[in-house]
Structure 1
């Protein structure tokens, strides 16, 4: 090898070690940066005309396990879905309470039954009559409170769906811009690995909202599809479309076949909401959890609470001998916003409309004695007559028919149904929390594997630094030796 070849080889070695030290420093500086992937320098032998001239820097490498990343993203979709469900159900069940809690529907029904029993023992007692009315009003309040909590949960879920859609669409726009920048830098031979880190972080965000698949093109651009096959990004962005509904009464439902209801989730005119029935509907992710809260879980709870209210109103109408069935004498102790209730003409949201009949409330001109003698009694009856009270008590001993859509027993006593409803709500919450725990463990394990493989290990980087330092010193020594050789030549 000539002195010139030695100098050229040493110079290429110095340039290579300079690049390596710069990339290593970048790795160490970003060791704690979320989403940063360790970078390496690809080197190869520089050969010109069959003769070795040193080392060549081929580029900056960013090596990741695409299959592991896919698994992490799928796991994050599952975790996000269960997290949404667990949080919403935790908030709701904290409001309605456990079956044994004093504020729960089951406890208030039991208290009302007990107050009726005490009134039956002392039908002449004004205090007992007042206690029945007060207990009835407390019962109505728990119905209304539960109805309001259901409505709030559905409205919150709907609003969060809108936020998630904006998050996805914004991320898609940014990824499209990064695709163009990555392609341009690749064509120019420039380093674009940090841009890929940014892009992967955005794709990770989308995966939490909606499960996706990605395909990387030869030019470095990435195309994104839902797991069901709907294209979100290729040459252009296909935006998610959703219309929020700030106010959601109980009667407003999502039905993909009926216009005018709650909004689904569309991509290029195709509804991919979980309840759409389309083969490409989203199976998991934060959006799926929010749709489940809005359209399934809370709707089920609405039916349960409405069924309990319906049978309570109807039961006391039927048990009251003074209810004729014709207005204005068609209402019982409990009403549907002051009106009689027909169980066969159910309108969702009854639990929010149930009320104690004004005819038994002194503050509205009513008479307490009507809880003893019947709501529409023409005049106050004998003080010791408890016949009507016993008929009211019998409501709690009768077996009633309930809608199968409530997801509970279709034939039960009212108190048993109410207890089952509260227990069902807590059981669904527990299922969501258990599922969240399991999915979180799996996700954490996969995320740790991804971090260990793709992240920065400072100890490893320091070991590499020692090697780079020795390589740099060796190449510098070669240059120094060549310089002395040339100087020696000029001495002659």
Structure 2
């Protein structure tokens, strides 16, 4: 071996040792730097024609393990998803208060019925009446507050989705810019580890927003795709886009979050991600919060309905001069069809003595009024004739009203004790809401009592638009359905279920025996349906198809915000109906008594009466009492919050473990680095001594010449 070869070998050793020492120094200097990935200098031996010719550092790389990185990124995305879900659902749970406390929402439900029980002990006591009314109004005020705050939580989630999208775009652009920088460094065999470390930190942040698949590129840098394969970075930067909804209500339809790949291909984000912050926010906004709001609305609707059932069976003393019903969302003819049983309308004086009495016997499509035959089309005229001028009944804009002609007289209604009037589980006065205790500004009951042959009252050509989304929340299709020329509910149902012009390709609407309309999606899992808009208007009530039948979660959720104590009763507690009309009272004797507390007991027992709850959220509904439903809802809300916390804790523990293992592999170990530093210092010294020996040899040779 020549002296020149010896010098070249020693020089390559010096350069390699210097490079290794610089790498070790960087590692030691960053031992406590968060996110720093240990550098490794790959060193190989050189040879020429089978003879060793020194060493060389081929590249400086990061001590990454793609399997540990993938596990850490996946665990981080899931931890972010469960974290935001728990954070926001915990806010929803806190709105209801402590289920076992005395001031929580669910305890207020029980306190209302207890207050009416106290009123029964002394029906003439004004303070007890006021206490019952105060607690009743407080309950519905609290339901309104909770319902609005749930929508506020959804609005917060929606705003955070937009922020997450903006953050993701910024991270993707930075990652792609570093891809370019790393590739350039690789071309000239420069040290790109600093850019790679910065890129790895950005990828970790992006993985918190959405789940990722990271692949190393042969030219340097990384290619990043979503879980379903949508390209985010590697061949240019993808762009996420989203426009938030603004003020959120129960009927708000949200926009899609889109990914536009570098090549221009557009995908829904919800088709592409299975975890991460965006996924968790969308799940909370579109699934968990609406489910809680829907169950709240179903509960408070039946609290109102059962109080109204009892109040409509009662009457005040003296009875009110007029009874004004609620908007039943139907024509009078449709509303009357299907009634059975008997009811009595009485006009009494201020002492409770009946001045005029009308007994009505329903028989499905026909009826008798004081023995005079009538049908739904002639009912109103026949009723007014039998009232004999003592009172007048009228039906306007979907509302039935009965007004006593003499301002000193009042109206009282009572069902027959043996065969009470009934349609869809409600008596005559209850069905029309003639003596409701709780009023609402929108349709709240969807068991309409309509049949397939009932006229629907909508104008042909009016349209409604439905949106279908998959299980992940990505839009599948928007479908506009027109009201058909046929005027029956059956015709409307056929138009809705038409596979070509309706929603039949995605599910089916069915009309129950109680007149409730339900939708069942096709497939497993079935698509989710919502209502984009409804331009229909029923004559004479003015309600839409979706309002009348409660189509879509949104219109059902909004019910919780519309209940309040009837204005005249709130202003004058004496109008609270705590007595009952005595149909067996002898002529000329009072049929009403101021001390009658039977109606108060009926109001107190309203919470224990079995009611027909419809499906809402995760509940399938069924026959259950209001108090039992409230207890189950309290348990459901608390259970879900607890489960969300457990999922959060578990995912964070898994993320911590995955991160610890990754850090153990990628992080700096001072002991190892000091050993390497000693090794390369000795290698440097050996190379230097070899150079010195070669120099001495060269000097000796020169001296021999």
TM-score normalised to the size of structure 2?
0.63
Aligned to 1:128: 128
Aligned to 1:22: 22
CA deviation after TM superposition for structure 1 residue 210, in Å: 1.3
Q: Distance in 2 between matches of 1:112 and 1:469?
A: 84
Q: Is 1:394 aligned with 2:605?
A: yes
Aligned to 2:572: 367
Aligned to 2:437: 333
Q: Distance in 1 between matches of 2:685 and 2:435?
A: 98
Q: Distance in 2 between matches of 1:487 and 1:331?
A: 121
Aligned to 2:75: 75
Aligned to 2:181: 181
Could you list the per-position Cα deviations for residues 199-246 of structure 1 after superposition, in whole angstroms to 9, with x for gaps in the alignment?
222222222211122233221242222111222234222322221112
Q: Check the 8 A contact 1:38/1:62 in 2, yes or no.
A: yes
Q: Distance in 1 between matches of 2:269 and 2:120?
A: 54
Secondary structure at 1:154 match in 2: helix
Q: Is 1:355 aligned with 2:567?
A: no
Could you list the per-position Cα deviations for residues 110-129 of structure 1 after superposition, in whole angstroms to 9, with x for gaps in the alignment?
11111100000011111101
Could you list the per-position Cα deviations for residues 278-301 of structure 1 after superposition, in whole angstroms to 9, with x for gaps in the alignment?
xx4422221111011110001101
Secondary structure at 2:108 match in 1: helix
Secondary structure at 1:244 match in 2: coil
Aligned to 2:643: 431
Alpha carbons of 1:402 and 1:429: their partners in 2 closer, same or farther (altered >3 Å)? same
Secondary structure at 1:215 match in 2: strand
Aligned to 2:615: 404
Secondary structure at 1:422 match in 2: helix
> How many pairs align?
471
Aligned to 1:246: 246
Aligned to 2:11: 11
**Bigger strand share:** 2
Q: Check the 8 A contact 2:113/2:605 in 1, yes or no.
A: no
Report 1:45-444 matches (<5 A): 45-252=45-252, 261-268=253-260, 272=268, 274=270, 280-321=271-312, 325=325, 326=399, 330=434, 332-337=436-441, 341-344=444-447, 345=548, 346=550, 347=555, 348-361=557-570, 366-373=571-578, 382-408=593-619, 409-444=621-656
Greater than 6 Å deviation, 4+ residue runs: none
Question: Which deviates more from structure 2 when the two are superposed, residues 433-442 or residues 402-411?
Answer: 402-411
Aligned to 1:378: none
Bigger RCO of structures 1 and 2 (CA < 8 A, at least 6 apart): 1
Q: Distance in 1 between matches of 2:436 and 2:94?
A: 32
Alpha carbons of 1:331 and 1:10: their partners in 2 closer, same or farther (altered >3 Å)? farther
CA deviation after TM superposition for structure 1 residue 80, in Å: 1.1
Q: Distance in 1 between matches of 2:75 and 2:14?
A: 45
Alpha carbons of 1:54 and 1:351: their partners in 2 closer, same or farther (altered >3 Å)? same
Q: Larger radius of gyration, structure 1 or 2?
A: 2
CA deviation after TM superposition for structure 1 residue 155, in Å: 0.5
Q: Distance in 2 between matches of 1:8 and 1:232?
A: 47
Alpha carbons of 1:53 and 1:357: their partners in 2 closer, same or farther (altered >3 Å)? same
Secondary structure at 1:394 match in 2: helix
Aligned to 2:587: none
Q: Check the 8 A contact 2:436/2:566 in 1, yes or no.
A: yes
**Bigger helix share:** 1
Q: Distance in 1 between matches of 2:186 and 2:272?
A: 36
Q: Check the 8 A contact 2:579/2:594 in 1, yes or no.
A: no
CA deviation after TM superposition for structure 1 residue 489, in Å: 4.8
Q: Check the 8 A contact 2:147/2:293 in 1, yes or no.
A: yes
CA deviation after TM superposition for structure 1 residue 6, in Å: 2.6
Q: Distance in 2 between matches of 1:207 and 1:169?
A: 13
Aligned to 1:257: none
Could you list the per-position Cα deviations for residues 96-141 of structure 1 after superposition, in whole angstroms to 9, with x for gaps in the alignment?
1232222322200111111100000011111101111111122123
CA deviation after TM superposition for structure 1 residue 397, in Å: 2.1
Counterpart of 2:683 (choices 458, 471, 480) is: 471
Q: Check the 8 A contact 1:312/1:334 in 2, yes or no.
A: no
Secondary structure at 2:616 match in 1: helix
Q: Distance in 2 between matches of 1:283 and 1:315?
A: 43
Q: Check the 8 A contact 1:374/1:388 in 2, yes or no.
A: yes
Q: Distance in 2 between matches of 1:331 and 1:405?
A: 28
CA deviation after TM superposition for structure 1 residue 413, in Å: 0.8
Aligned to 1:258: none
Question: Which deviates more from structure 2 when the two are superposed, residues 114-123 or residues 345-354?
Answer: 345-354
Q: Is 1:480 aligned with 2:471?
A: no
CA deviation after TM superposition for structure 1 residue 194, in Å: 1.9
Which blocks of at least 5 consecutive residues in structure 2 are unaligned? 316-322, 326-398, 402-432, 448-547, 581-591
The alignment's C-alpha RMSD in Å is 2.5
Q: Distance in 2 between matches of 1:374 and 1:114?
A: 17
CA deviation after TM superposition for structure 1 residue 9, in Å: 2.1
Q: Check the 8 A contact 2:77/2:277 in 1, yes or no.
A: yes
